[in-house]
Structure 1
Amino acid sequence: MAQVVNMPRLSDTMEEGVVAKWLVKVGDEVSEGDILAEIETDKATMEFESFHEGVLLHIGINEGETAAVDTLLAIIGEKDEDISMLLNPDIKVDSAQLDLVDQINESEKNNNETNTEIEERNVGSSKNFEIIRMPRLSDTMEEGTVSSWLVNVGEKVKEGDILAEIETDKATMEFESFYEGTLLYIGIEEGETANVDNLLAIIGDENADFSSALLNGDSEPKPVNKAVSTENDDKNEAPKTNTEKNENDNEERRVFISPLAKKIASEKNIDLKLVKGSGENGRIIKSDLDGYQNKSDQRVENDIIIDHKVLETNESFEDVENSQMRKAIAKRLSDSKFTAPHYYLSVEFNMDNAIAFRTQYNTLPDSKISFNDIIVKACAISLKKHPKVNSQWFLEKTRLNHHINIGVAVGVADGLIVPVVKNANEKSLTQIGTEIKDLALRSREKKIKPEEMEGSTFTISNLGMFGIQEFTSIINQPNSAILSVGSIIKKPVLIDEKIQPGNTMKLTLACDHRTVDGVTGAEFLETLKGFIENPVTMLV
């Protein structure tokens, strides 16, 4: 029997993925454990293996295409197996959506008629309806916008039916009903934005009296922009003429478009009025927008080309599409920098004892550690003594983590990832060194697992190997601090009131002032300095 393979969630924050490369093609035999494709997430490009055995019958997402988690990726089954039943449901849903879209402009009228009928019913009837509120569809969602309603007031709804498409801070998602009955009321119209938990709709028995829910304050006032529009209409012409005009305008402006195509059009600033859809009933789909360019943009581009010829300049550039990882790095670091109040503490360590310690330690059998391994171990022990540096900020509370998981920044071709050494304070120097080498190698080979990049409580970034003497880093939230490690420099130092040649290293601690005060950060660095300048004390 054919098995559907959907776009997997390969990281805790992944909402969509890009198929970087298919390693099999339609018709190929696939065994359980075979690598099907390389998928680019918001953190890394990872190999995705098959959990089924059979023949690859269908590819739903081509190379280079982006799709949301749980979108049809592929179908695996027996050779020549009929998979039409697995493909047709999507088509039927799209057709149903198109039929329902034709009725959307009538929803407000239906709402008013329904509300009038409700007010005339017996208020004493028992509660036989369910209130649907704006759902929280992502961990960071605070408000949502109703992109489109797929059902109208008065229509029957079954459990599992798609009620609406809701645009969140991450994606536009389908929202399904958890109840069965009639759609009695719509609280948030298309294009309107409302906070999570605001009244979205009411579903119940056909003749249910839900006026009590509205009287209790569950109905939300209309947005200001809609009120302004109504006010302007009243000023211009007679109400009847305006109503007819608005309905005609809505007919002209209405565009049938798939959610993916809508997202692409928004990103590329494409005027949908100029695009002819090739889908069912003229629906605009992704392929209609591939390579599309607005006429105005083309005209501007041509003007620019002419200007270049006239000026005979030698300037040139190349536009590189931002990867999912690049976008994620940009968003997270921006959020961290502009949310957490950063401050920085720098201190210079004498590394003479650390150099001697490392040289002697590496003479032991099966032992090979770096200076970075020593710093990781020293940080782990120091964090145990200063739990506020190992904390997380929440609006109403601060979490002091008892476990110590240290993230180690690793540069890869597409950007930066942070594999995590879990429970670093409980591991030996040799264990830490071996684990970091393994994590770094698999990070660069794109073989690291999502769970190996999660759960850090403190982060270390080391650019010393590039000759960087001192730098500052942006905190890897939800951590409260990140340590920036510079290179070891040979220079004259004052020891016992005598100037002698020595080796020093500068370390800079970036702290979140919401959780780590200046004194706390300074005390942590003082403890860290003691361990790094005398590494043998870490073994006691």
Structure 2
Amino acid sequence: MKMVMPKMGMTMEEGTIVEWKKKDGEYVEKGEIILEIMTNKINIDVEAPDSGYLQILKHRDEIVLVDEPIAIIEKSPEEKLKELVELPAVSQEKKETEPMRVIPPESIPSPSVRGAGKIPVSPRAKILAEERNLSLDTIRGTGPEGAITEKDVLTALGEGRGVKAEIEEKGELEGGGILPGQEIPAEPGRHPGREVTNVSPLAERIAADRGIDLSLVEGTGIGGKITKEDVFRYLGTHKPEPAFTGMEKPHEIELEEFEEEIVEIEEKVIKEEIPEEVPEEEIVEEELPPEGEVPQIIEEITEREGEVMGEVPSPEEELPESALPAPHEPPKISGESIPLKGIRKLTAERMLRSKKEAPHLTLGMEADMTEATKLKNSLSVTYTDILVRATAMALKGHPMLNSTLSGDTIILRDEINIGIAVAREEDLLVPVIHNADTLSVKEISRMTKDLIKRTKNDQLTEKDVLDGTFTLSNLGMYSIDFFTPIINPPEAAILGVGAVSKKPVVIQDTIEIRERITLSLSFDHRIVNGMPAALFLKEIKTLLEHPYRLLVEEGS
């Protein structure tokens, strides 16, 4: 069963593998937590969709698209073995060339009516029947569960010597099975009982469950590594038979058996495509210019080029090292190497995507924060709380700033969900205040404190970071006055907030010291033009300079 990257939210497009709780090849139970992924900058535990052996496809720190396979929950070894040795039933539809029908010898029972299910057919038998234009429904299989073997096909063609005679002569079954009383022979180069280390975890687990000596299994992986397919193949070819029944086991195709036929077919194709003799009238002799003319032309060209370019060195002459281009080598940089991974890598990719897809335009505007500072102190809230409230109110009158672009369609969002950029020691998260336009300044303050605390302690849930419609980034506490924030996709805009500082301001021909702040609005120019963006920013400025309107709106 395939296990895919789950879609944990409407906007989720990909997830990052954080940690596998189980090892490759380990048996897992359905509903057991086996994986931790990161999406939208939070970590989520994922359960096993089924029970079985875990085969990991995507590893730690890999970024995987939604619905892309990340692992396989293997079936039991018995079911997997059955898949390897059974082939789909041969189609019973009539082909363009009517197959040759051969009446089986009297010693072979007449063919029985086959159902529409799978008919076990060894690969050699299938290919041989197709090569000889023989329909498989005319053959009675003598292998396990009526499986058709190569010797069944040869017998039907009148070329077989009989299964039992050849088994008695060779002392073994075709698929590598053994007769009763025989020991399983060690393959060439194999030493029973020796320790094997070059083996996949899943293959080792299956071998242990089935009591298989891995020193007898031939590895076909990289560097001779033993894979699960090697173990299943060994199960199919070395499992002792309970009693001799004269039946053969289907087995893998050996190309050497058909080497002579392939050569004959290739020679036949070559003879058909290439005629033995070419008619003389088709041979056209190209006339050459009189002797001496071509060298003369070449000499003239060489002389003219030599006047302009100088002498051209002959191929035998070696160019000086100074004339050869220097090999390109990456510059050697000294210092500590820090891998770009986790949330830092996800943030980098989202920011790059934003700058590539959305044409950014940033507007700046100063606002007087003298009255807002008084309100902040009286309510015991922060500048961020007041700014969230003012932004939410302004967005109600400017819905284009609270939208997203999907293909060729602009979607005006029903909710106003404002994300707050919160910096941690090594990364950045954006928890979301949902329905911010319906909350009072005090409610926003309580919610902001809770979100920031849980962000610092890595306790955010998936809901806390999903469905943001607008983002606010405040760098004022770091004495930053102005910056150009990058839009948080798929949103349409982001508001950058600078430091509140005292500045001299001219008011009615007098100079006063006032609290001032600089706001910077970055927006997606595909969605919003300059004028509506400027009007939106001006409304935020007005609300901040008359902050008691924020309280009046709460009671209305």
SS at match of 1:524: helix
Q: In structure 2, how many angstroms separate the alpha carbons of the residues matched to 1:8 and 1:395? A: 23
Residues of 1 paired with 2:354 and 2:117: CA distance?
Answer: 43
Q: Which residue of 1 aligns with 2:450?
A: 438
| Structure 2 match to 1:409 | 421
Q: In the alignment, which of 319, 334, 347 is matched to residue 337 of structure 2?
A: 319
Query: Which of 430, 437, 457 is the matching residue for 1:425?
Result: 437
Alignment correspondent of 2:365: 347
**What SS class does the counterpart of residue 455 from structure 1 fall into?**
coil
- Find the aligned partners of 1:473 and 1:157 in 2 and give their Cα distance: 63
Aligned to 2:523: 511
- The one-letter amino acid paired with 1:319 is S
Superimposed CA distance per residue, residues 322-379 of structure 1 (whole angstroms, 9 cap, x where no aligned partner): 22433322222222112211111100111110110111122xxxxxx21001001000
Q: Which amino acid aligns with 2:227?
A: E
1:536 is aligned to 2:548 = yes
**Equivalent position amino acid for 2:18 in 1:** V
Letter in 1 for 2:38: T
Partner of 1:276, secondary structure, is helix
| Match in the other structure for 1:483 | 495
Please give the residue correspondences for 1:102-501 in structure 2 after superposition, counting only pairs within 5 Å.
Answer: 276=223, 278-280=225-227, 316-362=334-380, 369-501=381-513
Cα distance, 1:321 vs structure 2: 2.5
Equivalent residue number for residue 245 of structure 2 = none
Deviation at residue 74 of structure 1 after TM alignment: 11
Provide the secondary structure at the position in 1 that maps to 2:520: strand
Q: Describe the superposition over 1:493-514 as per-residue Cα deviations: whole angstroms up to 9, x where unpaired.
A: 2223211222111010001111
- Contact 2:42/2:461 (<8 A) preserved: no
Find the counterpart in structure 2 of residue 311 from structure 1: none
The Cα offsets for residues 283-307 of structure 1, whole Å up to 9 and x where unpaired, read as 9xxxxxxxxxxxxxxxxxxx999x9
Give me the whole-angstrom Cα distance separating, in 1, the residues matched to 2:450 and 2:76.
Answer: 41
Could you say what secondary structure the match of 1:388 adopts?
helix
State the secondary structure of the residue aligned to 2:499.
strand
2:473 and 2:14 map into 1 onto residues whose CA distance is 27
What is the CA-CA distance between 1:413 and the residue it aligns to? 4.1
- Corresponding residue number in structure 2 for 1:151: none
Return the letter of the residue paired with 2:369: M
1:380–1:406 contact (8 Å) kept in structure 2: yes
Do structure 1's residue 41 and structure 2's residue 38 form an aligned pair? Answer: yes
Deviations 1:257-279 (A, max 9, x none): x9xxxxxxxxxxxxxxx953625
Do structure 1's residue 520 and structure 2's residue 532 form an aligned pair?
yes
Larger strand share, 1 or 2: 1
Q: Is the alpha carbon distance of 1:497 and 1:20 closer, same or farther for their aligned partners in structure 2, counting shifts above 3 Å?
A: farther
- Does the CA contact (< 8 Å) of 2:395 and 2:401 recur in 1? yes
For residues 340 and 471 of structure 2, the distance between their equivalents in structure 1, rounded to whole angstroms, comes to 25
Q: How many Å apart are 1:40 and its aligned residue?
A: 4.5
SS in 2 for 1:333: helix
**Following the alignment from structure 1 to structure 2, what is the Cα–Cα distance between the partners of residues 89 and 332?**
44
CA deviation after TM superposition for structure 1 residue 20, in Å: 4.0
Q: Which residue of 2 aligns with 1:19?
A: 18
Shift of 1:416: 1.9
Distance 1:515 1:5, change over 3 A: closer
Shift of 1:437: 1.7
- Structure-2 change in CA distance of 1:21 and 1:517 (3 Å): same
In structure 1, C-alpha distance between the alignment counterparts of 2:482 and 2:340, rounded to whole Å: 29
Q: CA deviation at 1:85?
A: 4.7
Encode CA deviations 1:187-235: one digit per residue, 9 max, x unaligned.
xxxxxxxxxxxxxxxxxxxxxxxxxxxxxxxxxxxxxxxxxxxxxxxxx
Q: Identity over aligned residues, as a percent?
A: 30
Distance in 1 of aligned mates of 2:345 and 2:63: 15
**Paired residue secondary structure (2:223):** coil
Query: Who is 2:154 aligned against?
Result: none
* TM-superposed deviation, 1:49: 7.8
- What is residue 145 of structure 1 aligned with on the other side? none
For 1:23 and 1:440, locate their aligned partners in 2 and report how far apart those are by CA, in whole Å: 33
Q: Give me the TM-score of the superposition, normalised by structure 2.
A: 0.49
Separation in structure 1 between the aligned mates of residue 472 and residue 82 of structure 2, nearest angstrom: 52
CA contact (8 A) 1:38 1:45 kept: no
User: Is the partner of 1:473 in helix, strand or coil?
Assistant: coil
Q: 1:43 to 1:321 in 2, by over 3 A?
A: farther
Aligned to 2:170: none
State the shift of 1:18 in Å.
2.4
Alignment partners' CA distance in 2, 1:379 and 1:471: 18
CA contact 1:37–1:47 (8 Å) conserved in 2: no
Distance in 2 (CA, whole Å) between partners of 1:91 and 1:484 is: 62
Partner of 2:179: none
2:461 alignment partner AA? K
Confirm or deny: 8 A CA contact 2:35 2:47 kept in the other structure.
no
Distance 1:318 1:157 in 2: 62
Alignment check: 8 A CA contact 1:38 1:46 kept: no
CA RMSD of aligned residues (A): 4.8
Question: Residues 340 and 514 of structure 1 are in contact (CA less than 8 Å); yes or no, is this contact kept in structure 2?
Answer: yes
Q: Deviations over 1:112-160 (max 9, x none)?
A: xx9x969xxxxxxxxxxxxxxxxxxxxxxxxxxxxxxxxxxxxx999xx
Query: Quick one: distance in 2 between partners of 1:328 and 1:382?
Result: 31
Cα separation, partners in 2 of 1:117 and 1:507, compared to 1, 3 Å: farther
Q: In the superposition, relative to structure 1, how do residues 494 and 317 fare at CA in structure 2: closer, same or farther (>3 Å)?
A: same
Change (3 A) 1:445 1:7: farther
* CA distance in 2 between partners of 1:386 and 1:357 (Å): 25
Question: What are the superposed Cα offsets for residues 480-504 of structure 1, whole Å, 9 maximum, x if unpaired?
Answer: 1110011111221222321122211
What is the alpha-carbon distance in structure 2 between the residues aligned to residue 457 and residue 486 of structure 1?
21
Q: Which of the two has higher C-alpha Rg?
A: 2
What SS is found at the alignment partner of 1:404? Answer: coil
Q: CA deviation at 1:92?
A: 7.9
Moved more, 409-418 or 61-70: 61-70
What is aligned with 2:279?
none
Return the alpha-carbon distance in structure 2 between the equivalents of residues 496 and 393 of structure 1: 45
Q: Which runs of 5+ in 2 are unaligned?
A: 98-115, 119-199, 201-220, 231-327
CA contact (8 A) 1:14 1:41 kept: no
* Deviation (angstroms), 1:51: 10
CA distance in 1, matches of 2:434, 2:441: 14
Q: Relative to 1, partners in 2 of residues 1:392 and 1:47: Cα closer, same or farther, differing over 3 Å?
A: closer
CA distance in 2, matches of 1:433, 1:332: 28
CA contact (8 A) 2:61 2:342 kept: no
Classify 1:7/1:337 alpha carbon distance in 2 versus 1 (closer, same or farther; 3 Å): closer
